[in-house]
Structure 1
Amino acid sequence: MPEESQVRAFYAGKNIFITGGTGFVGICLVDKILRCIPEIGKVYLLMRPKKNKEISDRLQELTKNSIFEKLLEITSPDIFKKLVPVAGDVGEENLGLSAQDRQILIDNVNVVIHSAATLDFGETLRKTVEINLLGTRRVMDLCKEIKNLKVMVQVSSAYVNSYLKEVHEKVYEAPEDVNNVLSLVDTLNDESLQQVETKLLGSHPNNYTFTKHLAEHEVVKYSDSFPCTIVRPTMIVASWKEPVPGWTCSKVGPQGFIMGAAKGVVRRLPVVKENVADYIPVDVVVNELLVAGYNAAKTTSGLTVFHCSSSTQKPFTWGAVEEQVNAFLHEYPSKGAVWYPHLKLVSSLWLFKLSAIFIHFIPAILLDMVLRLTGGRPILFRLHKNVWSSLGRLRKFIFNQWRFYNTNTMELAATLNETDSKLFYIDIGEIDASSKRPEGTGVPTARRSGTLPGYPRRNKTQSVLRGAADKSAAQAESSYLSNIEHRAVREYFVKKGKTPKEIFEDMVSVLQESVLSYTMVKKWARLFQQGRESCEDDSRPGRPVTVVTEEIVRKIEKLVLADRRIKLWQIAEEL
């Protein structure tokens, strides 16, 4: 008989107060609690009222998120009655709580998980101090008043110590005296504050890491009064296993690029192939928050620090998975793609910007023109412009590598019984970079609502996109071959005795992104091995496959001029 879950038993009947519950990590945390700890008491969610939308409306909107689909397969919507919205804002005095709501929290809460923060690297120092630093101080002040607090969990970031190349699980010396920082923010205007900002930050790359580092020291101040634990995730990416593999609602970081690549609008990624990129799936982060809280609550006070990281346990490099990522993009493209997906890695910001002009901006202008003509909303040029403007702020994180040691996390994982190891997994040792499916790889895949449902294989629309991409590539690259010429090359290699993998690698090395997918190489290699001689497509019933000709271009132009709201699929049908 399996052992009882000790983590689940600890949280059973307890009331939790969560800040940042509507964010990426927060909503995954709420789902995990309701799905795996149904015996939980109340889950109080700090929510900001928005214009023309009360917090009750925001909660109702939250419960309709696709992340809860798995939850609703095993329980009824009544489970959401455990969620209690509380009007407030970490950026306001006393968390913006009413006296009544504050007292309810003081009287009833047992566990506090503080996840709210501004993650914008370009945000002003004043704003980041208000939310990240003072917001944490306000949460700690509330914790001090809570009558039956068992543990406080602070969601920090491994990059609060990004000025170091090797980082251990401890709180490092504060980068600046917190009272000096608060005094400057209180007394200086925005212009003057910006002038002293660089000197104040010192070796910190931005206001986010600076204020989150100071926030850790706010937690330290209270750790003698009640148990506290700090969990430092690295770059949080889409889920590994739960609620479904590859789930995300965030466009931040590599998953944003992957989403863009799946839609065919992002075709270059600025990374150093050999550098270790520290990514951690969001479901592992959520599990560690709950496990760290359970562990810290065994004592009456004190502080523990955990790195939720991969760089020293399961190192990831883009160079090792470049071919694999493109295979996934080809086999499981987004249904909303506007261009055939392919992602190429470039090793410098200069090369990325140069290639982006031709590979991103020019096609974006053309596709936006088509969107305007068909009644759509042009967004691609603006998207690439936003990426371009953010590169300066992200340079340090794109082209550097760190070693975040996770010894405490590994030791914590070893203390879990078999049931908890499966239910609240925090050991990423089983991630397999050679997996044939994206979910097992640790590659930051991205499955947004409706984006990659069931990982569909190429469809008719993808064939149309492939034709458009082939036409563009033929004009741009002299090395481009037609489909028939591709097949003739494969037939030659088959007769030379090469395997499909060897054929694909040789063709990629010469033709680069104009080569077709590995699956198509395997298909035609098998046909030639079986004795096929012709490189032509077999005849088949129905409308013949179209090719791009001047006649078709004129026909498309005529269709668009006749109905400027015509959709791309309708154009494809007409052709």
Structure 2
Amino acid sequence: MSASTEASAIIEYFKRKSIFITGATGFIGKQLVEKLVRSCPDIEHIYLLIRPKRGQGVHDRLKELISSPLFNTVREINPNFEEKISALQGDILDLNFGLSPTDENILLEQCQIVFHSAATVRFQEPLRLAIQMNVASVKKLLCLCYRMKKLQSIVHVSTAYANCNRNDVAEMIYPPPIQPTKLLEASEWMDDQVFDVLTNKIIHDRPNTYTFTKALAEYIISQESKDLPLAIIRPSIVGSSWREPIPGWVDNYNGPSGLVVATGKGMLRTMLGSNNAIADIVPVDVCVNMMIAIAWHTAIKHPKNIPVYHCCTGHLGTLTWGKVAEYGLYHLSRNSLENAISYPYLQFTENRFRYHYLRVWQEVIPAFVLDCYMRLVGRKPIFIKLSERIYKSVRTLDFFTSHSWLFPNDNSVLLQNEMNDVDQKIFNFDLKDLEWFHYWRNYCIGAKQYLLREDLSRTSKCHKRYIRLKRLQNLLYFTAIVLVIKLIFFKSFKFRRIFIILFRLIFVGLSAITKKIGL
């Protein structure tokens, strides 16, 4: 059969299959639902585990999900696609996911494929809650899957950074430093405050509770999923879509998206990190395409051991954090965001004292001045609080912007080789054609259009504001330099020597202090 007439083996497999998805209201989950209904129109049904939230029932949340611009493409192709999707009320924190007997029976009798992407992705989630959401939920899922009569495939979404305490991470499951079952038992009765006190000792060389608990979840799977058709995918830092269904789609502030917005608004100007460290960012549509291919391959090939697939871009070696700043600033200057407080600028520095010094002068002081202005005009001051929130958020990224990892993708390459030419196009996760400069253009536009919901027709006005802000910023810097020069060179020689010596002593002293206290 020629490539032009060859059928899609993956689409054929998904015909008349019922699918259960946890985490469907998350970033990856939404994209997964859209891709399935668009590319596999003959699926039987998709069941989404959704919990009520902020007064919204599960059916209202489902309507909100499918009304997203993300589904505009499939809406044009198949206006009735939503008939294939149902919401099951439940919560991963509840016993048996809180499923009603009727909903549970539907899954047990009809479900063939499971995608588990529900998790807390907050890096600094309290350890007890992170264990319950990221580890205990996996045990509950396995118990449910063992009772599914038609089960053929399970795909568990982990993270490439589950083993970030290693520099070279193989596509295998590593034993954790502590038995997960002991922590699970402790999380049932131990007080939150006790857990909080012990957290740093428990997670040891992991940077946060998220990576630690994702590693525990993988080990639970390796120990308790005997005979289950299960595979693990490990995405790195998930960014906006590359091509599907619309380039640059993003709907949350996690990872690079928060950096794009905070930088574009002029609130973030410096970060701890290395310009040369690899920025392992993978487009969300690439991740979802691989998830679907893994589900198909697991069901067809019945692997004896649990395969682990890295979904990363670091092996390309083409994107560093320095390039992220360079590309992002270039495109933000041309796709300007509304209501920016200063002209976009972002630099990475490995010197902790320099970082704190730059942050005070470039972020804190301007925020303080703006808050003073807000008080003068009778409005509520917000900029210091915003600056603190951004600071706390970006400090959780220090570990990842300062280090590089090797994530071999041998299993991903083997999976791609098992797919025919048609499937490699429809469910593409080959990154050889990815151009980062163009990707960041779409990322900046997508953040403006889909995340901030700004009107693209106003971009030229926003750009003019950027230019005015840049001129004002240059004027202020020039004035400050003139004042410093006047202070130094128009005073006595003795004063200049004292000034220089004092400045050096302060610099050396503060550098030593920040290094000692680990800032």
The question of a shared fold, defined as TM-score above 0.5 by the shorter chain, is answered with yes
Q: Distance in 2 between matches of 1:100 and 1:415?
A: 38
Q: Report the residue type matching 1:355 in the other structure.
A: L
Match for 1:192 among 172, 183, 194? 194
Q: Distance in 1 between matches of 2:132 and 2:451?
A: 36
Q: Distance in 2 between matches of 1:246 and 1:449?
A: 9
Distance 1:409 1:448, change over 3 A: farther
Q: Distance in 2 between matches of 1:477 and 1:267?
A: 19
Structure 1 residue 327 corresponds to structure 2 residue 322: no
CA contact 2:260–2:444 (8 Å) conserved in 1:
no
Q: Which string of whole-angstrom CA distances, capped at 9 and with x for unpartnered residues, describes residues 384-434 of structure 1?
A: 201222454433222111111111112212222222111111111111235
Q: Distance in 2 between matches of 1:154 and 1:316?
A: 27
Q: Distance in 2 between matches of 1:75 and 1:338?
A: 43
* TM-score using structure 1 length: 0.77
Q: Which string of whole-angstrom CA distances, capped at 9 and with x for unpartnered residues, describes residues 186-209 of structure 1?
A: 343223333333332232222212
Structure 1 residue 361 corresponds to structure 2 residue 364: yes
1:142-181 mapped onto 2 (5 Å cutoff):
142-181=144-183
1:194-343 mapped onto 2 (5 Å cutoff):
194-300=196-302, 302=304, 303-320=306-323, 322-343=325-346
Q: Distance in 2 between matches of 1:163 and 1:123?
A: 19
Q: Distance in 2 between matches of 1:286 and 1:182?
A: 30
C-alpha displacement of 1:349: 4.1
Q: Distance in 2 between matches of 1:413 and 1:219?
A: 24
What residue is the counterpart of 1:62 in the other structure? 65
Q: Report the residue type matching 1:476 in the other structure.
A: Y
What residue is the counterpart of 2:105 in the other structure? 103
Q: Distance in 2 between matches of 1:417 and 1:394?
A: 39
Counting matched residue pairs gives 478
Identical amino acids, percent of aligned pairs: 31
Structure 1 residue 23 corresponds to structure 2 residue 29: no
What residue is the counterpart of 2:467 in the other structure? 466
Structure 1 residue 122 corresponds to structure 2 residue 124: yes
Q: Which string of whole-angstrom CA distances, capped at 9 and with x for unpartnered residues, describes residues 71-117 of structure 1?
A: 223221x2112110001111111111112211111111110000000
CA contact 1:247–1:447 (8 Å) conserved in 2:
no
Q: Distance in 2 between matches of 1:152 and 1:236?
A: 21
Q: Which string of whole-angstrom CA distances, capped at 9 and with x for unpartnered residues, describes residues 321-348 of structure 1?
A: 5443322111222245444333333334
Match for 1:9 among 7, 12, 16? 12
Distance 1:272 1:295, change over 3 A: same
Distance 1:371 1:214, change over 3 A: same
Which of 409-418 and 279-288 deviates more? 409-418
Q: Which string of whole-angstrom CA distances, capped at 9 and with x for unpartnered residues, describes residues 368-393 of structure 1?
A: 56667778775443222012224544
CA contact 2:74–2:81 (8 Å) conserved in 1:
no
Q: Distance in 1 between matches of 2:343 and 2:400?
A: 29
Q: Distance in 1 between matches of 2:281 and 2:243?
A: 15
Q: Distance in 1 between matches of 2:467 and 2:134?
A: 46
Q: Distance in 1 between matches of 2:211 and 2:183?
A: 14
Q: Distance in 2 between matches of 1:5 and 1:377?
A: 58
Match for 1:420 among 419, 423, 428? 423
Q: Which string of whole-angstrom CA distances, capped at 9 and with x for unpartnered residues, describes residues 106-148 of structure 1?
A: 1111100000001112111210111110001101111001110
Q: Distance in 2 between matches of 1:370 and 1:243?
A: 44
What residue is the counterpart of 1:85 in the other structure? 87
CA contact 2:449–2:456 (8 Å) conserved in 1:
no
C-alpha displacement of 1:26: 0.7
Q: Distance in 2 between matches of 1:204 and 1:444?
A: 34
Structure 1 residue 449 corresponds to structure 2 residue 424: no
Q: Distance in 1 between matches of 2:451 and 2:58?
A: 26
Q: Which string of whole-angstrom CA distances, capped at 9 and with x for unpartnered residues, describes residues 450-479 of structure 1?
A: 758897695134313422331232112359
* TM-score using structure 2 length: 0.85
Which of 215-224 and 124-133 deviates more? 215-224
Q: Distance in 2 between matches of 1:93 and 1:436?
A: 42
Q: Distance in 2 between matches of 1:413 and 1:86?
A: 33
Structure 1 residue 75 corresponds to structure 2 residue 100: no
Distance 1:417 1:138, change over 3 A: same
Q: Report the residue type matching 2:168 in the other structure.
A: E
Distance 1:289 1:371, change over 3 A: farther
Q: Distance in 1 between matches of 2:96 and 2:18?
A: 20
Q: Report the residue type matching 2:9 in the other structure.
A: Q
Return the index of the structure with the highest Cα Rg.
1
Distance 1:445 1:323, change over 3 A: farther
What residue is the counterpart of 1:569 in the other structure? none
Q: Report the residue type matching 1:54 in the other structure.
A: G
What residue is the counterpart of 2:477 in the other structure? 476
Q: Report the residue type matching 1:466 in the other structure.
A: I
Q: Which protein is richer in helix relative to its size?
A: 2
Which of 166-175 and 313-322 deviates more? 313-322
Distance 1:472 1:438, change over 3 A: closer
What residue is the counterpart of 1:42 in the other structure? 45
Q: Distance in 2 between matches of 1:437 and 1:200?
A: 38
Distance 1:460 1:193, change over 3 A: closer
Q: Distance in 1 between matches of 2:118 and 2:238?
A: 15
What residue is the counterpart of 1:402 in the other structure? 405
Q: Report the residue type matching 1:409 in the other structure.
A: S
C-alpha displacement of 1:153: 0.4
C-alpha displacement of 1:248: 0.7
> Which of 1 and 2 has higher RCO (CA within 8 Å, sep 6+)?
2
Q: Cα RMSD (Å) of the superposition?
A: 2.7
Distance 1:371 1:37, change over 3 A: farther
